[in-house]
A and B are shown apart, each in its own frame.
Chain A
Amino acid sequence: MRSALGWVAAAVLLSAVAFFLSGYYNDVYRKLLLWIALALSYNFLFGISGQVAFSHFAFYGIGAYAVVIFLFQLGMPLPLAILAGVLVCSAIALIVAIPSTRLEGFYLALATLALAQLFIVVLNEGGAVTGGTGGLVNYRLPAIFGVYITGPWYTAVIVILVLGTYALLRHLDRSWFGRACRAVRDNPEAAAAMGVNVARTKVIAFTLTSVLAGIAGMVYAFVDNTVNPPIFGLENAFLLLFMVIIGGSGRHAGAIVGAVLLYLLPFVLSPLIGHHHALVFGALMVVVILLQPRGLIGLYDRYPRGQKAH
């Protein structure tokens, strides 16, 4: 009961922020929240399950395109379009995961890289269905019970997405399922000897996190009210990887810290060095891997203990 109250308070607080932000900053805030949602689910896939996949951002795109196509090209009602979007993401995730998780991790990386590239090709070549290179524009979120959710109220929807993603992943992480995922990551042979079905655990983790990315994509579709191929390029798949590693792989707080830092850093850096912030990210990545493999959250963990020693 008390924890339920905590979640409600967090939702109210994080949503309230949106009502004090102007249009531009509200947009920045919404995208920051979406990056946090993506980093949280990617952390479960990469950091907790130990699966090196580059398809996470593609699933974000698949979710976004799917909901728009189902709503406006096929004329489905919103709940059905969301359900269909989830089914599409699940089906694609299963097609990729079932064969590749049975092989070494390297093959999953290759298969997901191929999926991410193929997705962009399909978007560009999709003709009227995907809108080709121009993507799909001029649509808006349908009314829900006669109400159009806009402005800071839509930001509240994104807040609920982030908190829902976090609550679900945290619950899973603390359960036997989360332990099985980490066991498979650390030592598949020993995990199997403990009764963990290694292949099934990997497939479930991959599919679940990919669907979460897809759902985030569906929410994103009504942030910019346009979906087009350049948005879902491969560089964002690497940005997610950077966020999780720099923040602290395997830790929810790490994913959040990494997402906040790497999303906001270009706003600070751009006036100074233009679009060369990728260089800074790369350098940061090297420094973290060499000096603090547990990421920034690992530094935080060490700090209070260092104080006690004095």
Chain B
Amino acid sequence: MTDILEARKLTKRFGGLTAVSELSFAVREREILGLIGPNGAGKSTTFNIIAGAYRADSGEISFLREPIAGLPPHEIARRGVMRTFQHNLPFEGMSVLENVLVGAHTRFGGNLFSRKAAAEEREQHAHAERLVEFVGLGELRYASVDRLSFGQGRLLEIARALAGAPKLILFDEPAAGLTRAEAQRIATVIRGIAERGIAVLLIEHDMHFLLPLAHRVVVLNFGAKIAEGTPDEVRSHPAVLDAYLGHAAAV
């Protein structure tokens, strides 16, 4: 399988602290790649560099063989990399469906007054309805987002990201703050996304959630990669057990 996203020797420092150090990894087509590590391992920093929120001090990122490091977030989205937010960042003044339509922003042609514009709007509207249905919020499509529970808000994040027709979707700790049942629902949705042929990069510190879901796993500790492989390989890797000491028994 070919690589869709490739990170090479990413390094990011905050003052004297090196949050990410010479990190290299690749996301392959159609796979769910998990990026895990204990708190402070550099997962979020890596995520934010890929999404364009942070700029790496050095290193390169290519997406579909084009360099994307240093591009602003909206340009990265335009190239087909969409993301969700760990703390759910909905557009508060809009309905569920309108939120999803904002996710489709990059799919509109531009001209607002052409005859095509109305057809385009209808087409995206229908697509957004299908996505809202796919994540299980169909009943709430016209509801204001403040009526959603935290777990439903997370599903909305996913539908909104999918509306941009991404080739790669980035999940920032999608199970954080959810009940076990809600997390299972999210896991099912993420599997469905991968089955649609969309590559998934998932950062997560909860191994129970991630290991059954990911096809491959990259383990970080203190900003560096300490292991990489299938969930089974990683589960028994001595460096991983060491980093997760305490959690390790539970894994």
Measuring CB to CB, which residues of chain A are less than 8 angstroms from any residue of chain B? 171-172, 174-177, 179-180, 182-183, 185-187, 189-198, 250
Contact = CB atoms under 8 A, between A and B. Distances in A.
B103 A194 contact: yes
A189 B102 CA distance: 13
Nearest to B124: A176
A180 B78 CA distance: 14
B72 interface: yes
A170 to B, nearest CB: 12
B204 interface: no
B91 A175 contact: no
Contact of B91 (A171, A176, A183): A183
Interface in B79-95: 82-83, 85, 89-94
B101 A190 contact: no
Contacts of B73: 192-193
Interface string B82-121: 1101000111111000100111111010001100010001
Contacts of A189: 53, 85, 89
Given A186-B93, A190-B85, A192-B74, A172 B112 contact: yes
The interface size bin for chain B is 20 to 34
B112 A198 contact: no
Contacts of A176: 101, 104-105, 108, 112, 121, 124
Given A175-B121, A176-B108, A177-B112, A196 B74 contact: yes
Contacts of A172: 112
Nearest to B163: A194
A192 B102 contact: no
B74 A190 contact: no
Most buried by B among A185, A187, A189: A187
Given A176-B108, A195-B164, 7 more contacts: A171-B113, A176-B101, A186-B90, A191-B91, A194-B105, A196-B102, A198-B74
Contacts of A180: 102, 105
A101 to B, nearest CB: 15
Interface of B: 51, 53, 72-74, 77-78, 82-83, 85, 89-94, 98, 101-106, 108, 112-113, 117, 121, 124, 160, 164
Contact of B90 (A174, A177, A187): A187
Given A175-B117, A176-B108, A190-B85, A195 B77 contact: yes
Contacts of A194: 74, 77, 82, 102-103, 105-106, 160, 164
The 4 A-B residue pairs with the shortest CB-CB distance in the complex, in nearest-first order:
A195-B77, A195-B106, A190-B89, A186-B91
A171 B156 CA distance: 26
A191 B90 CA distance: 9
Contacts of A190: 85, 89-91
B105 A171 contact: no
16 contacts: A171-B112, A174-B121, A176-B101, A176-B108, A179-B94, A179-B98, A179-B101, A180-B105, A182-B102, A186-B93, A189-B53, A190-B89, A194-B105, A195-B77, A196-B102, A250-B93
A182 B145 CA distance: 14
Nearest to B120: A176
Contacts of A174: 121
